[in-house]
Structure 1
Amino acid sequence: MTLTEKRAWITLVVTVVTYAGYVVTVLRRADGRTLVDVPYAGPLLSTIGIAMVAAIVLEILISMVTPNASRVTDVRDKEIGRLGEYIGQSFVAIGGVAALLMALAEWDWFWIANVIYLNFALAAVLGAVAKVVIYHRPFPGW
């Protein structure tokens, strides 16, 4: 398994776990209140920070455990990375449009912030899944 594929797995696992943790935290804080009344900014920012630190720490740990793993990327790795990013970024665009429409409709900030965060998480997950799947299937043109 290449370092690039390991990074895709790290992104996938960290994103799913931290986003699920965020959702659970917000739902627990609701405690009978409507979701728009839940203080969400702190958990949202904390979750993003935790995800970034966790991804960095996991990559360092994996590098320490497999010090002889190849860090060389070839053309195939670069193309898989690019294709995975293209696929994942579609959700960033969808989230931007959704947030824009929600703002124009004057929805509560809670929903706007959460749809943006959800789409960032979906972009990361979809991009990582695409990379992992492409690594295990014949790459178009190869």
Structure 2
Amino acid sequence: MSLDARVAVWQFITAIGTYAAYLWLLFDRAGDGPLVDTAYGDLVAWTVGGGLVVTIIGSIAIAIAGGRSGRLTDMRDKQIARLADAVGASFVTIGGMAALILAIVEVDHFWIGNVIYLAFVTSGLLSSLARIVMHRFGVPSW
């Protein structure tokens, strides 16, 4: 498995873990009260920041453990990265459109913020999953 594929697996696991931690902390903080009245901004900041730190440290550890040959890239790795980034970017766009629609219909800020956060998480998950699948089964020829 290439370095890029191993890092993609790590990013996938980290994204699931940090979003699960966010949801757990959010529901714990809400208790029996309504979710829309729950403060969530600091939870988003801490889980995103923590996820970035864990992803960076894990990626560095994977690169070190892989040795020198694991860091070599070729044209296929660049194609995979480009296509996987396009998959991820599409879900940021979908999430942005969903947040815009929620803002137009004047939904509570809580839901708009959470839709945006979910769009970023989905983008990261699908981008990582696309990298893993393409490394395993090859780059599509369309």
Match of 2:129 in 1: 129
Percent identity of the aligned residues? 38
Greater share of residues in helix:
2
Length, aligned pairs only:
141
Aligned to 1:70, the other structure's residue is in SS state helix
Q: CA deviation at 1:63?
A: 2.3
Match of 2:116 in 1: 116
In structure 2, distance between residues paired with 1:36 and 1:42: 15
Match of 1:6 in 2: 6
Q: CA deviation at 1:62?
A: 1.6
Q: CA deviation at 1:10?
A: 1.6
Measured against aligned partners, the alpha-carbon deviations of 1:65-123 in whole angstroms (never above 9, x if no partner) come to: 23234212110000001111111211101110010111111111110000000010000
Give the gaps of 5 or more residues in structure 2: none
Is 1:104 aligned to residue 100 of structure 2? no
Match of 1:57 in 2: 57
Coordinate RMSD, CA, aligned? 1.1
In structure 2, distance between residues paired with 1:11 and 1:31: 30
Q: CA deviation at 1:11?
A: 1.2
TM-score (norm: length of structure 2): 0.94
Q: CA deviation at 1:47?
A: 0.4
In structure 2, distance between residues paired with 1:14 and 1:69: 25
Match of 1:85 in 2: 85
Aligned to 1:124, the other structure's residue is in SS state helix
Q: CA deviation at 1:58?
A: 0.4
Aligned to 1:139, the other structure's residue is in SS state coil
Where has structure 1 moved over 4 Å in runs of 4 or more?
A: none
Match of 2:22 in 1: 22
